[in-house]
A and B are shown apart, each in its own frame.
Chain A
Amino acid sequence: MGQKTPQIYSVELNGAKDMKQTDKGDDKDKYRGLWSTCLELRKNHHKEHVTKEIDLDDHKLSNKELENKYHTNIVTGLSSTQAAELLARDGPNALSPPQETPEIIKFLKQMVGGFSILLWVGAILCWIAYGIQFSNDKSSSLDNVYLGTVLALVVILTGIFAYYQEAKSTNIMASFSKMIPQQALVIRDSEKKIIPAEQLVVGDIVEIKGGDQIPADIRLLFAQGCKVDNSSLTGESEPQPRSCEFTHDNPLETKNIGFYSTTCLEGTATGMVINTGDRTIIGHIASLASGVGNEKTPIATEIEHFVHIVAGVAISIGVLFFIIAVSMKYRVLDSIIFLIGIIVANVPEGLLATVTVTLSLTAKRMAKKNCLVKNLEAVETLGSTSIICSDKTGTLTQNRMTVAHLWFDNQIFMADTSEDHFKQTFDQSSGTWASLSKIITLCNRAEFRPGQERVPIMKRVVVGDASETALLKFSEVVLGDVMEIRKRNHKVAEIPFNSTNKFQLSIHKTDDPTDKRFLMVMKGAPEKILEKCSTIMVNGQEQPLDQSTAEAFYTAYMELGGLGERVLGFCHLYLSADEFPETYSFDVDAMNFPMSNLCFVGLLSMIDPPRSTVPDAITKCRSAGIKVIMVTGDHPITAKAIAKSVGIISANSETVEDIAKRLNIAVEQVNKQDAKAVVVTGMELKDMSEDQLDEVLTSYPEIVFARTSPQQKLIIVEGCQRQDAVVAVTGDGVNDSPALKKADIGIAMGIAGSDAAKNAADMVLLDDNFASIVTGVEEGRLIFDNLKKTIAYTLTKNIAELCPFLIYIIVGVPLPLGTITILFIDLGTDIVPSIALAYEKAESDIMNRKPRHKKKDRLVNKPLAVYSYLHIGLMQSLGAFLVYFTVYAQEGFRPSTLINLRVEWEKDFVNNLEDSYGQEWTRYQRKYLEWTGYTAFFIGIMIQQIADLIIRKTRKNSIFQQGLFRNKVIWVGIASQIIIALILSYGLGSITALNFTMLRPQYWFVAVPHAFLIWVYDEVRKLFIRLYPGSWWDKNMYY
């Protein structure tokens, strides 16, 4: 069928032959590009870079020379002993699996990374602080040691969790790669044997036939009608003929070499193995992927940015208060302890765990929607994606030829091309259809594999090429049991398709017992078929083929060809019973039957139709501001047609060529600004400079790259990344793996994808469906928004936890909040609520806004930090201090007494410290009161964190717009906060080590007014943001 296609296009593009020729020339460079390193790929059109050629000259050698070179015999093959020796020398014929990172490295990797570093630094600082304290005073409190240990534990536990999550998705992936071991038919010791392909060695003589995967790089010694699909190697989807003649200097060009992992589509061949395993060409390419660096995920960049902010704030506050402490005549050593304490207090201990859990929750949600995320951080990447470079075949399309249009009775009929088309709705009453359907059924060599009666027709496995499969399934759907029809119309002679004839013919007895005539049916390239016809069937009646009908034929042919469809013509002839009696012996070589004056019946066109969900998904992408670029190895016309049908090129946009055609002017005269869409071929791309490519990428909103090699995909990805875009790339072939790796997020196809592609990708689409990407985008955007909320929530109380320490240093009140208590907030009450924010629904339609700008829309921006720290954080601190002062005042220490009490308060040998009433306190009594203060402060923060949690549900909308009760998990979070606090205060209140005491119930409510104040303040903030978008307020208060 490969040979059929040029004719289809020849109608549209005069001189497709030339084009094919130039394409070949381009392919040559394209292939060479494989051998220059991938990093130089962008320049692979410059000759100087194309130096590293493959040293393969086997294609130039004669059979004899080959036998000598490999010490083998073409007829008898290698001997078993020879083979065993060679196997021992070269190793098995399999691609060595991509280098696995050792599990321990993977595990350790989880514990370094931006956020963990912050915690590690915090932990080490704590231990240093303890070291200083201990050297100073042997009886110093162990709080710092606990804190450091907890910080380290948090990192380790979170690391284990993340590792476990990722290992789980790796396991799902592994289940995909369970492939049936490949077999090869080999001649050894003069015998044909079937051995596992892994055991092949150079010099082996193998036989392949249609449907086989070529088991190694082989030099063909004999071939009959052999065609291979090299798409996994070159991206070219046209079948390539193979013969044993040496036709080109370049081993990749010559026809007498078959490559490992490509598929033999039809015909048979015998070849000698010349390369095995990693030394094969595909093996070389697979190893190239490892040379491409993996891009850092956007969320990793964001978290790093966040760590910078936190570290910046921590160090500035720390240094500021260090200076204050020193100038307040604190000892320098104490001041250093304060400095460390402040820095560590700024570390949000719980956030790492929260972020990890949140990401894995989303990853789980995405996995349910068939997006398997390999790397947790990649969860968000899709959300910030601004360009998707998508494959055509399999991703956008169903990856199977399907009958799309029919032309008979001077009319074009449309066939249903959706995934499960059971009903064909075109007019089937015409007599022409009866004849046409007969031809379709009979002139077809494809057959269903037996034993699939229960399988839906569209899913059955068929033996035969793609076009015939399409026709078979089509006729099965429309007519019912095709095999039965064929049986009734016994085939007496047949000429299979070949490239010189460009038609296929068979002669049958008819199923009408009264009709003794033979029926000759023929299909083939439409113009070839038409040449042989003198009549045309219209409404079941034969009519002479005149000029006007011929014109109608050409119009239809051009129209269908213009849709990028593969068109076939069908004709038939009833052979007169007188001339061809029942006993007539047909001789296909002598052609003893008429080959002209046939009756033309109709045209039928096929296409690999788009998946039904794709157009909708593309529309969503577009409204989400994501540019979808199609990158395909297919012919530009087909690519464009599919692009148009799925909406990558929208209905009303035109390319320069379209405009030229419409206005009837030369392409050069068209104002390029008028064109919204462009189809760039690999050949054009090859001649473009980086700037030109950038120009194409920026000036056209709708781009299709056709006839590109997988290598050019990498160039396109790099071009997009130069525009500061976050690029998602889909791919399945081994050759896609460099591009998948280079992309910000590589998306491999779960079903069609090769292992190498899946390995290089960050995400695997389990159903190969483009529409799944859209759900991924949605989840990614949501998680970004929700992470913002989580971080804002977490940062707020950081100030409320830090203020006590600062006040303690500056004002000298007894420490309002202890280290251990802080840990119970960060890792206790606050964990569930901050995770609950991940379940928050989107505030507005997140799929209607532009993707975030990588460098401008940060996860943690200035307004977020400022608002959390200086507004809500401050209000929280005040509320919590109120509880603290209330507790102290009611126990006897009025606020005025507390000021500067610190030194006396902490002296172990002052056991009669006077309070505001003149009562005297022992050290332990004070300590107990201090713990009550901790508990009070803790409760104060907790109560206000509930308000904080509620306000963080939205960033712009009122809580009442969002609905207080829509996210049930938030309420689980609030309940968990309260329950944990109750347990700590009342359950564990008697365990002195935890520094919690039983708090009077009324103290739980002291901060409630502040909590309401926070809520009201935030509602006002949101109200003004909604009322005055773009205003000063909006800029400063919207995070």
Chain B
Amino acid sequence: MAALHEKKSCSQRMEEFQRYCWNPDTGQMLGRTLSRWVWISLYYVAFYVVMTGLFALCIYSLMCTLDPYTPDYQDRLKSPGVTLRPDVYGEKGLDISYNVSDSRTWTNLVHTLHDFLEGYSPAAQEDNINCTSNKVFIQESFGAPNHTKFSCKFTADMLQNCSGLQDPNFGFEEGKPCFIIKMNRIVRFLPSNTTAPRVDCAFLDQPKDIQPLQVEYYPPNGTFSLHYFPYYGNKAQPHYSNPLVAAKLLNVPGNTEVVIVCKILAEHVTYDNPHDPFEGKVEFKLKIEN
């Protein structure tokens, strides 16, 4: 700004600049002689090398202090997040709508479910063991091969009607769609000690004119069996896969947008954090057109 006020012609400025770039009298380029440039560059190289080295050393020692299996703090993960499949997001959160009679509107949704359940095929679950205990599966030792811990199998067929095996369209065709609910993994997290955590889906605000939501849960009761907990981290349980619950919504009113919330009911799972809409619950809008 002020530079413009100085009374110098453009050619003068150019000349000055040229002189700055190369000053034949002193042999200076950009205000320094070549040797000075070398010196200053060397200094900076050395300085930055040392500083980078120090920083690397710090980071290295930080990494050394970390436990490879369990994070030091989990205060931000007190209660697991919950996700839903199929997941289509609108302006605000999950927003699923389709037309029963128009298969193009729901094939993608069905595809998502199929893709998702790919990871739950028997082949994918091969390395995991069968568990039936329905009790928390505490493993202090690394009993599994390669110094790991065992993970329990969860296969798609446990979702029965919503497994995509019997009904490849997951009920979308008939207006009774299946939604798969997944709870986020948290290392060494126990949703509850005795009773298995259970999914409960309902309308967010029960409309007066329609019946309460009727849901069929798979596995039965909509529970995540306790033997999938606790999770010991991806280093100890490289093949662990989250247990799932499928909810088949039986009486979604047609041609109206409804908001459905699926909560996880368990001792240590909270769903009332006002800031986090995905903590312990998942909300989604659903509109089925006939």
Contacts and interface: CB of A to CB of B under 8 A. Distances in A.
Do they bind each other? yes
A542 B81 CA distance: 122
A922 B275 contact: no
B73 A921 contact: no
Interface string B38-82: 011000100110010011001100110010011111111100111
A203 to B, nearest CB: 50
Contacts of B47: 871
B231 interface: yes
A878 B76 CA distance: 25
B73 A891 contact: yes
Contacts of A914: 234
Nearest to A311: B1
Contact of A932 (B51, B70, B76): B76
A911 B235 contact: no
A916 B81 CA distance: 17
Nearest to A870: B44
B75 to A, nearest CB: 8
Contacts of A1032: 36, 39
B85 to A, nearest CB: 11
A1015 to B, nearest CB: 15
A892 B74 contact: yes
Contacts of B153: none
A894 B63 contact: yes
A885 interface: yes
B81 A922 contact: yes
Interface residues of B, number: 52
B106 interface: no
Interface stretch (A164-172, A190-198, A548-556, A923-931): A923-931
B81 A925 contact: yes
A917 B230 CA distance: 13
Contact of A923 (B59, B182, B237, B278): B278
Contacts of B254: none
Given A882-B58, A890-B71, A890-B72, A919 B63 contact: no
A80 to B, nearest CB: 56
B184 A117 contact: no
A304 B3 CA distance: 9
A918 B233 contact: yes
Nearest to B282: A911
Contacts of B2: 114, 301, 304-305, 308
Contacts of A871: 47
Contacts of B3: 308
B185 interface: yes
Contact of A909 (B1, B40, B44, B87): B87
Interface in A583-613: none
Contact of A922 (B75, B185, B234, B279): B279
Contacts of A1000: 73
Contacts of A305: 2
A886 interface: yes
B183 to A, nearest CB: 9
B80 A924 contact: no
A878 B185 contact: no
Contacts of A908: 89
A334 interface: no
B224 interface: no
- Is chain A's interface secondary structure helix, strand, loop, or mixed overall? helix
A476 interface: no
A917 B62 contact: no
B140 interface: no
B49 to A, nearest CB: 13
A525 B206 CA distance: 119
Nearest to A998: B75
Interface string A853-889: 0000000000000000011001100100110011001
A918 B70 CA distance: 10
A912 B71 contact: no
B59 A874 contact: no
A878 B279 contact: no
A915 interface: yes
B83 interface: yes
B277 interface: yes
A305 B1 CA distance: 10
B185 A920 contact: yes
A992 interface: yes
A623 interface: no
A91 B168 CA distance: 103
B278 A922 contact: yes
A826 to B, nearest CB: 22
A344 B70 CA distance: 40
A922 B231 contact: no
Contact of B276 (A117, A878, A891, A925): A925
B96 interface: no
A889 B234 contact: no
Given A117-B1, A908-B89, A919 B185 contact: yes
Contact of A921 (B51, B62, B184): B184
Contacts of A881: 55
A895 interface: yes
In this complex, which of A305, A918, A1013 has the most chain B Cβ atoms within 10 angstroms of its Cβ?
A918
B87 A915 contact: no
Given A308-B2, A925-B279, A889 B77 contact: no
A498 interface: no
Contacts of A894: 63, 66
A541 interface: no
Interface in A914-966: 914-925, 928-929, 932
A915 B184 CA distance: 11
Contacts of A889: 62-63, 66, 72
Tell which of A304, A911, A916 has the most Cβ of chain B within 10 Å: A911
B172 interface: no
Given A909-B87, A911-B83, A912-B182, A885 B62 contact: yes
B81 A875 contact: no
B77 A925 contact: yes
A114 B277 CA distance: 48
A921 B77 contact: yes
Given A878-B54, A891-B71, A924-B276, A912 B81 contact: yes
A909 B89 contact: yes
B76 A891 contact: yes
Given A882-B59, A891-B76, A892-B71, A921 B187 contact: no
Interface in A828-852: none
Given A882-B55, A912-B81, A925 B76 contact: yes
A905 to B, nearest CB: 14
A919 B62 contact: no
Contacts of A723: none
Nearest to A1009: B58
A874 B51 CA distance: 9
A692 interface: no
B186 interface: yes
Contacts of A96: none
Given A917-B235, A918-B185, 14 more contacts: A301-B2, A304-B1, A889-B63, A890-B71, A890-B73, A891-B75, A894-B63, A912-B184, A914-B234, A918-B234, A919-B187, A924-B277, A925-B81, A1000-B73
27 contacts: A308-B2, A308-B3, A874-B48, A875-B51, A881-B55, A889-B72, A890-B66, A890-B71, A890-B73, A891-B71, A891-B76, A892-B187, A909-B94, A911-B278, A912-B81, A912-B184, A914-B234, A918-B187, A918-B240, A920-B184, A921-B184, A922-B184, A922-B276, A924-B279, A925-B76, A928-B76, A1000-B73
4 A-B pairs closest in CB distance: A918-B234, A922-B81, A920-B184, A924-B276
Interface of A: 114, 117, 139, 301, 304-305, 307-308, 870-871, 874-875, 878, 881-882, 885-886, 889-892, 894-895, 908-909, 911-912, 914-925, 928-929, 932, 992, 1000, 1013, 1032, 1036
Interface of B: 1-3, 36, 39-40, 44, 47-48, 51, 54-55, 58-59, 62-63, 66, 69-77, 80-83, 87, 89, 91, 93-94, 182, 184-187, 231, 233-235, 237, 240, 273, 275-279
